[in-house]
Amino acid sequence: MTNTPAAATRPSRRLLPVAGAALAALLLVVLASSGGSGSGDGGAGAVDAAPAAVTVTGPLCDLLPAGSEPGNPSSLAGQPADQALQWIPVLTTFEAAVRATGLADELTRGVTILAPTDDAFVAMFSRTNLDELLLRDTDVLRDLLRDHLVTGVLPVSELIAAGTVTTVAGTTLTVTGRTVTGRGQTARVDEAETVCADYQAVDARIHVIDQVLGDLPSTAGEDDDGHPAH
């Protein structure tokens, strides 16, 4: 049996060291509103009937909830997108941003969500900058999130077939595809790549990507006073 890190098999909403107090506070709200760890009624694992199987593809999928684990792809298919995001452990920052900007309603209108991982946010923003976006610059953050939404519920194969897609914010993204041996099909969306594609939610398709899209300047590597870290 292959040894798998605990973080890879446990779909807890743990606070990764990717942001500061703002993200911590927002995640506490998530836990309170969802009844704690999600083990009670109404959680990702609480379904009345066995859901249809959902297949996700990409190199990161093996490290995310699968099989009968809470948060597995099939268990999320009947949930609103903002709730489904809570159960994908690498999307804590993106989910907190959705909550901070009040964007949940826009995720129920038939959209494709290109959701950057926590690591992608770390690579893009300093901790201070991300806190500012989550707490004060929510209009800027909302615009950034809309650069990760595409109208229409598009599986990765349809994104690739389209060649280009336009985000809700009006940005045109170029999409190309490739097949990874043993991992299925992935899509390159501008400079980002899908690392676990084709999560399904109600009126939405979620593709986890490895970079933040949009035109905000990168502040990664800056310390808390906004100057380059040494």
What pLDDT, in 10s, does the model give residues 177-186? 987 766 677 9
CB contact at 8 A, 185 and 178: yes
CB contact at 8 A, 175 and 182: no
Residue 165 gets which letter from DSSP?
A: E
- Nearest-angstrom CA–CA distance, 166 and 99: 23
pLDDT band at 78 (very low <50, low <70, confident <90, very high): very high
Q: What is the CATH number of the domain that holds 174?
A: 2.30.180.10
pLDDT number for residue 225: 55
What does each C-alpha distance from 37 to 12, 13, 161, 172, 179 come to in angstroms? 7, 8, 39, 38, 36
Query: Which alpha helices (H) appear in the chain, and where do they start and end?
Result: 6-9, 21-33, 73-76, 81-85, 92-101, 118-124, 127-135, 138-146, 156-162
**What residues contact residue 177 under an 8 Å CB cut-off, 6+ apart?**
156, 157, 159, 160, 185, 186, 187, 188
Tally of domains in the chain: 1
pLDDT number for residue 36: 43
Domain assignment present for residue 10? The answer is: no
pLDDT band at 224 (very low <50, low <70, confident <90, very high): low
Q: Comparing 101-115, 178-192, 199-213, which segment has the lowest mean pLDDT?
A: 178-192
DSSP β-ladder status, 204-209 and 111-116: parallel
- Give the global pTM: 0.78
Domain assignment present for residue 120? The answer is: yes
For the chain, what is the mean pLDDT?
83
Angle formed at CA 168 by CA 164 and CA 170, multiple of 5 degrees? 65
- Nearest-angstrom CA–CA distance, 135 and 22: 6
Residue 176 gets which letter from DSSP?
A: E
6 phi and psi angles, rounded to 5 deg: -55, -35
pLDDT number for residue 185: 79
Domain assignment present for residue 218? The answer is: no
Which tens digits make up the pLDDT trace of 155-171?
999 999 999 999 999 99
Which tens digits make up the pLDDT trace of 56-69?
999 999 999 999 99
pLDDT number for residue 27: 53
pLDDT band at 24 (very low <50, low <70, confident <90, very high): low
Residue 150 lies in domain: 18-209
Q: What six digits make up the tokens of 134? A: 């989550």
Residue 143 confidence (pLDDT) above 50: yes
pLDDT number for residue 72: 97
Domain assignment present for residue 223? The answer is: no
pLDDT number for residue 118: 98
Residue 49 confidence (pLDDT) above 90: no
Domain assignment present for residue 37? The answer is: yes
Could you tell me which residue, 228 or 81, shows the higher pLDDT? 81
Which among 13, 23, 113, 115 is positioned nearest to 60, based on CA atoms? 115
pLDDT number for residue 178: 83
- Nearest-angstrom CA–CA distance, 81 and 204: 6
